[in-house]
Amino acid sequence: MMGDAVNTIEWTSKSLEQTLALGALIAQQVRAGDVIALNGHLGAGKTQFVRGLAAGLGVDQRLVSSPTFVLMSEYGTGNVDLPAVVHIDAYRLKGLSDLESMGWSPELLAGSATVIEWADRIAEELPDDHLRVELQHAPGDERQVTITAAGESWTERLPLMRAALERLGKAHVCPTCGAEVLETAESFPFCSKRCRLVDLNKWFRGDYRIGTELNNVEDVNDLEELQ
């Protein structure tokens, strides 16, 4: 169908890092008042996507956790034009008004970027103009991503996103923040020394996933500096 091609991007994320990078890439198109409707089963990478999105908007991504027991979180961006990212878990919500006691209001929505997990559960309450992102399990670490622009403003932004995603599919991305990294970079495979240190810190805390080894004294000194 022609309409699908215009309003939809199908993309494959090859890793958690690419899902993070996808979030950061979409963040480049986000304006105050935008709503991103996120869908996907447990473990599909929704939290990783939100981390990338939030980091792309200036939030310290380490603040972003799965909202499983928190219906709504608000993260400051330090940017006056878009001061907050609001992260909502709609799994147990009947509607957005359920969040009013937690400080949610239409005004908050207007001044923030809002990302709603399990958004299909409150589909009737989503604004006409929103971006729908669906993450689906695929073999291994791959995820099938379907991005759908609902409404005119997102449809207009889709071609830029499509071009950036094509580049991302080919690029190496920083395992910490999802930024694109050239293989010639001194900090490769990380985008910066800072991201390499954040990664080492994870290794020490035991939630390390990627196969880097601590192999020299300089790394240990750097780590002590970070803590």
The binding site for Zn ion (CB under 5 A) comprises: 174, 176-177, 179, 191, 195
Give me the helices (H) in the chain, please: 2-7, 16-27, 46-56, 106-111, 152-170, 193-205, 217-226
In angstroms, give the least distance from the CB of 176 to Zn ion: 4
**Which is closer to Zn ion, CB of 91 or CB of 188?**
188
**Which is closer to Zn ion, CB of 56 or CB of 67?**
56
**Which is closer to Zn ion, CB of 136 or CB of 192?**
192
User: In 3-state terms, what secondary structure has residue 16?
Assistant: helix
In angstroms, give the least distance from the CB of 179 to Zn ion: 5
Distances (CA, A) of 185 to 106, 116, 190, 202: 44, 36, 8, 22
Give the pair of three-digit tokens for residue 190.
Answer: 């990380």
In angstroms, give the least distance from the CB of 199 to Zn ion: 9
* Adjacent-strand bridge partners of 30: none
In angstroms, give the least distance from the CB of 140 to Zn ion: 23
Give the N- to C-terminal CA distance of the chain in Å, as an integer: 54
**Which is closer to Zn ion, CB of 86 or CB of 174?**
174
